[in-house]
A and B are shown apart, each in its own frame.
Chain A
Amino acid sequence: MKIVAVTSCPTGIAHTYMAAEALEKAAKKMGHTIKVETQGSIGIENKISDKEASEADVVIFAADVAVKEESRFSGKPILKVEVQKAIKNAAEVIKEAEAIVEKSK
């Protein structure tokens, strides 16, 4: 499964990056490819291109503030979770993403 994800939080200093790390680890462990874009205090890093967005099976927003350039992902199944949830239980978030893909098949 190809996953793209965006993480962000109000101050963009800590949670954004912890969530990104947690999602990357969990997805890889579960045998998926993932690219996580961080929208934090540094700005947008590891940006997901339009092409990558269109090729993804599922999109995860682990974001507590509005995701920038959301239109990239229009038409895609999007799973929205609180950034805290991705930190606390990233594996659960990936499982939910799997379920969404399964359902949309």
Chain B
Amino acid sequence: MLLSDEMICMDLNADTKEDAIRQLAMMAAEAGKLTSMDEYIESVLAREKTYTTGVGNGIAIPHGRSKAVKETFIVFGKSRKGVEWEALDGKPVHLIFLLGVPEEAESEHLKVLSQISRRLMNENFVKRLKRAETKKEIIEAFKDFQQS
């Protein structure tokens, strides 16, 4: 399981996309997943510039592949008020999945990330995440939808 308690923030308080990415990256750094937080953030923001990772339905999936990442990780943040993300549907983002991938990522991990991306297109899964109030509920939702 890639997602753990320490990598979940249920009350993200960020006003901008950059701010949200920085706060979530901080959690990855504290968990020892990064060699350089700035370098990682740079890779994520560079990625955002190509086009937005705000894929609509209140979801953003910012990600960076960088040598500043020690091991593959996912940080989840939930924002009640929403963050402006220049999303495809123009709506603010409430569920943010920050992914970090090392240059030499194991395909097993990449596979997990690809499955999570696919799951985000599942309306029921997204609803569960939006309703969830606790970290436990988030992790359970991930587990329940792992196979589907």
Contacts and interface: CB of A to CB of B under 8 A. Distances in A.
Are A and B co-members of a single complex? yes
Interface of A: 10-11, 13-18, 20-22, 25, 38, 40-43, 64, 84, 87-88
Interface string B34-45: 000000000000
B76 to A, nearest CB: 14
A87 B88 contact: yes
A67 B51 CA distance: 19
A11 B110 CA distance: 11
Q: Which of B50, B101, B121 has the most CB of A within 10 A?
A: B121
A42 B107 contact: yes
Nearest to B121: A21
Contact of B63 (A11, A42, A87, A88): A11
B51 A17 contact: no
A80 B87 CA distance: 22
B99 A41 contact: no
A25 B63 contact: no
Given A41-B105, A87-B55, A88-B56, A18 B110 contact: no
A44 to B, nearest CB: 12
What are the nearest 6 A-B pairs in CB distance? A17-B117, A21-B121, A21-B118, A17-B114, A88-B88, A14-B117
A40 B112 CA distance: 13
A20 B119 CA distance: 11
B118 A17 contact: yes
B121 A18 contact: yes
B18 interface: no
A21 B117 CA distance: 9
Contacts of B88: 84, 87-88
Contact of A42 (B50, B64, B99, B111): B111
Contacts of A20: 118
Given A21-B118, A41-B105, A84-B51, A14 B56 contact: no
